[in-house]
Structure 1
Amino acid sequence: MIEFYFVSITMILMLVGLLFEMERPEVILASTLMIFMVTGIVTPTEAMSGFSNEGMLTIALLFIVAGTIQKSGLVDRALQQLLKGASSNHHIMAKLLPPISLLSAFVNNTPIVMAATPMVKKWCEDKGISPSKFLIPLSYATILGGTITLIGTSTNLVVHGLLLEYGHKGFSFFQLSAVGIPITLLGLGYLIFFSSALLPDRNVSSIIESEALREFTGEVLVTRDFPYLNRTVKEAKLRSLKGVYLVSILREGETIAPVSSATILHKDDLLLFTGDISTITELQRMKGLELQSSSGSHFPEDHRLVEAVVTHHSSLLFKKIKETDFRSQHQAAVIAVHRQHDRLKAKIGDIVLKPGDVLLMIAGDEFSKKKRSADFYSITLLEEQLITPMQMKKGWLSIALLAIMIGLVTFGVLTMFTAMAITTLLLFLFKFVSPGEVKSLIQWHVLLMIACSFGIGLALTNSGVATSIAQFLMALSSPLGLFAVLLSVYILTNIFTEIMTNSAAAVLMFPIVVQVAKTMQIDLLPLAIIVAIAASSSFMTPIGYQTNLIVYGAGGYRFKDFIKVGFPLTLIVMVVTVVIVRFFWF
């Protein structure tokens, strides 16, 4: 009984921590698992069981396969073609959303949304319309498409791995399509024809244009009275200014950028600063520096303003910007932070970052060349990279290889794990991907959360909490019939997934539905299908799914926008899923 209450209280605290974003999700889940292991609720073997689960390992391999296709540039090129020729809101939605949903059935949806978001924003800027009309539907379309196949989302593979662990057969490759295709078609219909009326017409003006640079740039002239003439920037104490960042020096018509600490200052140098320009007046107190009017016209060509969204698993979370060593880590400087569409007025260095914050950064060439950071999702369209014929060839061959393996899985020749292992091995042998690239392709934080969730799920089972929750669900719903039981399973899973990540929600719900199946003496498979679909269907908050978080800041959305547009879609998906499962599997 003590174990029961201990696990219950610990789980409540874990959910509160996730809901209020007190720490990164993987840290909260790992800490919870550690508590359960130290207190003996789960054995060390049980705590580590998630790290060897077939579903989790398959996800790791799939990250490599999907990442290889993504880096070939074929996905980016396809998105660019889809955006060409679109003339109206409904036209672009009808043209863009169905192919993206289909693509998401086979490729991880996070990089798809990361690639599409800046393209859609740029298209909207060129057409003079609001990106807020398109970005939530873009995220939702990829979520819906992910429910169609076994590899469409990590959630499906996690539930598949759990079924195998509990001695069941697991999902076939297209088994979820019986539910995934209908909810995707109906969901797309809702998004294309009805979501526009519910979405805000919120113009998120481009801050890349030169006129907008006035707000973020200030120019200072070095005169003959400056005491640090012919001395370095570091000696002049211009490297560690609060709120502003020295971007470049204009000297006799030539631009010096980037500016190093060892750069020598000369008379008549024009210093360009960027950041919180309200603090630049402090420079006027320094003898020999004269503040000039700024139009942003002297902004160096090899530097640009970039927007990015802070991720749920970022190492920057819950730290002051000045404590993160941001400039050296990312070759960029933060000059503004927006949260829920509002610009934070505090000094840049003192701002404590949270998931979903939009960073406005000044970045040079090295930022574009740097591999995509795990700390944030870039939502600014960087310079298009030339896709070589060799890259395209590798991309098409990778797709062909994946298609062959999917065929072998579909006809039962190979298991999903074996197929992905062979595919990954061949990609290495053909040198389509190098061992050094694997580190950046695998989303380690996702794997850690999933692996920890398995141990936490066993704690629910060992302590009797899973049985208690199952009995409570049965007491409420079983008198109303099987349909009510299925509906209650869907609703509870969906609540979990809006609080935590989708895969973690599925793992925590699984021991509960195992108990429900045993009590009612029904097949576990249809309940597992409901858990997989409900855990993926995070539409009402920006924090439940990574793609929602990406578009959250990019579209200038508020929390209520997701509720307003996502609630009808949640009802559609819930009703269709439960009805199909009820009459197709029972």
Structure 2
Amino acid sequence: MMPADWPMWLTLAVAMGLLLSLAFRVAATDLLVLSSLAILVLVQDLTGNPDLPTPLDAAAGFGNKGLVTIALLFAVVTGLEMTGGTELATGWLLSGAKNLRSAQLRMLLPVAALSGFLNNTPVVAALLPVVHDLAKRLQISPSRLLLPLSYAAILGGMCTLMGTSTNLLVRDLYIGKNQELGDLAFFTPAVVGIPATLLGLCYIIFASKWLLPERKPAVSASDDPQKYTVEMQVDPTGPLVGKTIQQAGLRALAGLYVAEIQRADGRIEAAKPDQRIYGEDIMILVGALDSVVDLRKIRGLITPDEQTRKLEVPAWRRTLVEAVVSPRCSLIGKTIREGKFRSNYNAAVVAVARGGDRLEGKLGDVRIRPGDVLLLEASPSFLHRQRGLSDFYLVSTVERGEVRRHERAGIAIAITLAMVIFAALNIVSILTAALVACVAMVGFRCCTTTEARRSLDWSVLIVIGAAIGMGNAMTKSGAANAIADGLMQLAGASPIAALAAVYVATVICTELVTNSAAAAIMFPIAWAAAGPLGMPPESLVVCIMVAASASFLTPFGYQTNTMVYGVGGYQLRDYIVFGLPLSLIVFATAMVMLSWRYELAF
């Protein structure tokens, strides 16, 4: 005989399994969240138990207004990207930067401001090339700018309902719970967001000098040669056959050295100066971008398997592109050889870098991971096409191309400003403003319908929709109330302690799951805890908004952190050392401001 509360225990078990599988990255986030929801729906269908989500309950999350608004904002930002509107809005300010401190001040303030009114993830994606070029111009390590860029975007996104997908989602869940409470104001999160952003930016600017090491970027002209792996083959008919590595001049290359040689029979040998090389040997070298370009000019070395010679583009029209693998890339988990870059992208992988690691073995056997930096030889159209498909976060091209439709950048900026003003003044709803702006971007040819359609981050949207279903299941099964009871026992009768417990639990979920999924799962728990403690529900709602965005400790809790991980050459400990003080600053600010705003007792 099964106990009456078995649906609650099943839901808790599935939720814990989801958290663990996400923590160990068993599979893609969207697949894991969908699978967890599918288990609960399947059991409900088989048993008919009313305490588990029905198929209709599961599907409800995908019709959520917040989710639709997020999708529309992706298309709006595409209009800015495809016209160079973001660069136009920030380039004039960044062009005056003379040193690191000046660059950080000129970059962080506008980025935080922009992120308050646009979804912060595409803002960072659009500014990556701008910041990367700024670092090159100032001759400083991009690591001094990229992680601060991500953190500033996260902080700015906390200030308004439109700044991050998390805030839009929580707002819609809040309205759905109790229509009598009405809507949240556009600047409701600003009570915590603005002071947290100001304090956070001060910390970033003054502490980065000591706490943020000057990492070498994964792909850079001044790169540490032990971070970038490239592979070349000895031409059997070329002049290098039979020579030693020393005689071939491969020991004299600046910023580049031969690490290993793979013989024609598959044997891999450590490279020594007096070692002879033969036709069809694969030379595995490690070095910097400029050195790789020079290496390709040496007679007698060719790209393995002649991939670049099979490209459907004349050699004189090709360009080298630095691309960071997006978490949405369909090739994740496959080897470079299995990725079939030539047929899928009309591009060839020249080299690959992964953080500070030197990759072992043949280039074609390297399995692709999010954050990997690839150096590709491709057609000039690759930059435009992949920006639409979002398989890669494109950093820059070695030979920079012009931005398309730049004459419409002013129109794109005007449409975006109009959307923000109308939504902020509550003239129309955020959904309506985003919908009209999306149509205007296409109508005024700032982007095409195809580009707008391709801009949708389906992985993010699927995670949000499925996570809403999981949150509903937590409420329906009684699991949310059970966890809330546990939090109240932990907090005693103190609303501040309850607020702190919800905040910490949400931050932990965010680092393990992702921000939107953490918010959807924690919302019903916080809502159940508010009533017995006599707390205004809005206080816990704002607490979740801030905590779900406050992901500063890992490269994977927030998309912007993942985007800068590989290209900045960061290590995991950089996020912990630099992000932990910032997390504590935001936590303390949230506790003080929420207790003051909602008159909560200790």
Please confirm whether the aligned pair reaches a TM-score higher than 0.5, indicating the same fold: yes
Unaligned runs of 5+ in 2: 45-51, 242-257, 267-276, 283-291, 303-314
Aligned to 2:450: 436
Aligned to 2:54: 43
User: 1:174 is aligned with what amino acid?
Assistant: F
8 Å contact kept, 1:210–1:296 = no
Structure 1 residues 406 and 523: CA distance shift in structure 2, 3 A:
same
Of 516, 533, 540, the residue aligned with 1:520 is 533
Secondary structure at 2:426's aligned position in 1? Answer: coil
Aligned to 1:231: none
Secondary structure at 1:222's aligned position in 2? Answer: coil
8 Å contact kept, 1:24–1:314 = no
CA distance in 1, matches of 2:480, 2:222: 55
Of 531, 551, 555, the residue aligned with 1:538 is 551
Q: Deviations over 1:249-289 (max 9, x none)?
A: xxxxxxxxxxxxxxxxxxxxxxxxxx998347679766999
The answer to whether structure 1 residue 203 and structure 2 residue 216 are counterparts is yes
The answer to whether structure 1 residue 333 and structure 2 residue 328 are counterparts is no
How do 1:167-566 and structure 2 match up within 5 A?
167=178, 168-204=181-217, 206-207=219-220, 216-218=231-233, 220=235, 222=237, 278-279=261-262, 295-297=295-297, 302-372=317-387, 373-381=389-397, 383-386=399-402, 391-392=406-407, 394-479=408-493, 481-566=494-579
CA distance in 2, matches of 1:77, 1:546: 24
Secondary structure at 1:365's aligned position in 2? Answer: coil
Aligned to 1:234: none
CA distance in 1, matches of 2:162, 2:198: 19
* % same residue: 36
Q: TM-score, normalised by structure 2?
A: 0.81
> How far off is 1:332 after superposition?
2.1
The answer to whether structure 1 residue 84 and structure 2 residue 99 are counterparts is no
> How far off is 1:210 after superposition?
13
Structure 1 residues 478 and 200: CA distance shift in structure 2, 3 A:
same
Q: Deviations over 1:287-338 (max 9, x none)?
A: 999xxx9843369654444333222232122223332323211222234443
The answer to whether structure 1 residue 13 and structure 2 residue 17 are counterparts is yes
8 Å contact kept, 2:319–2:377 = yes
CA distance in 2, matches of 1:97, 1:465: 41
8 Å contact kept, 2:158–2:164 = yes
> How far off is 1:181 after superposition?
1.2
> How far off is 1:9 after superposition?
1.8
Aligned to 2:247: none
Structure 1 residues 415 and 211: CA distance shift in structure 2, 3 A:
closer
Structure 1 residues 80 and 397: CA distance shift in structure 2, 3 A:
closer
> How far off is 1:566 after superposition?
0.4
CA distance in 2, matches of 1:6, 1:141: 40
Q: Deviations over 1:233-259 (max 9, x none)?
A: xxxxxxxxxxxxxxxxxxxxxxxxxxx
8 Å contact kept, 1:276–1:336 = no
8 Å contact kept, 1:405–1:419 = yes
Of 135, 150, 156, the residue aligned with 2:167 is 156
Q: Deviations over 1:67-126 (max 9, x none)?
A: 212221021234433332322221211111101111111222223322333333333334
Aligned residues: 532
Aligned to 2:591: 578
CA distance in 2, matches of 1:90, 1:119: 17
CA distance in 2, matches of 1:12, 1:211: 41
CA distance in 2, matches of 1:288, 1:99: 51
User: 1:358 is aligned with what amino acid?
Assistant: V
Structure 1 residues 411 and 85: CA distance shift in structure 2, 3 A:
closer
Secondary structure at 1:342's aligned position in 2? Answer: coil
Q: Deviations over 1:120-159 (max 9, x none)?
A: 3333334432222221111101111111121111111001
Unaligned runs of 5+ in 1: 227-274
Of 32, 39, 63, the residue aligned with 2:36 is 32
User: 1:306 is aligned with what amino acid?
Assistant: V
8 Å contact kept, 1:305–1:362 = yes
8 Å contact kept, 1:336–1:343 = no
Q: Deviations over 1:466-496 (max 9, x none)?
A: 11111111111134x2211111111111111
Secondary structure at 1:27's aligned position in 2? Answer: helix
Secondary structure at 2:323's aligned position in 1? Answer: strand
Aligned to 2:26: 22
Aligned to 1:239: none
> How far off is 1:219 after superposition?
5.4
Structure 1 residues 387 and 117: CA distance shift in structure 2, 3 A:
closer
Q: Deviations over 1:15-50 (max 9, x none)?
A: 112112111111111111111111112101100011
Structure 1 residues 310 and 429: CA distance shift in structure 2, 3 A:
closer
CA distance in 2, matches of 1:382, 1:482: 55
CA distance in 2, matches of 1:411, 1:288: 67
What is the CA RMSD across the aligned residues, in angstroms?
A: 3.1
CA distance in 2, matches of 1:288, 1:355: 30
Aligned to 1:245: none
Aligned to 1:267: none
User: 1:139 is aligned with what amino acid?
Assistant: S
- Stretch deviating more after TM superposition (212-221 or 306-315): 212-221
Q: Deviations over 1:505-544 (max 9, x none)?
A: 1111100011011222322111111101110111000001
8 Å contact kept, 1:109–1:143 = yes
User: 2:103 is aligned with what amino acid?
Assistant: I
Secondary structure at 2:113's aligned position in 1? Answer: helix
Secondary structure at 2:526's aligned position in 1? Answer: helix
> How far off is 1:196 after superposition?
2.0
User: 1:379 is aligned with what amino acid?
Assistant: V
How do 1:49-60 and structure 2 match up within 5 A?
49-60=60-71
Q: TM-score, normalised by structure 1?
A: 0.83
Aligned to 1:237: none
CA distance in 1, matches of 2:531, 2:280: 81
8 Å contact kept, 1:340–1:559 = no
CA distance in 2, matches of 1:106, 1:221: 59
Aligned to 1:262: none
Structure 1 residues 495 and 571: CA distance shift in structure 2, 3 A:
same
8 Å contact kept, 1:136–1:548 = yes
User: 2:20 is aligned with what amino acid?
Assistant: V
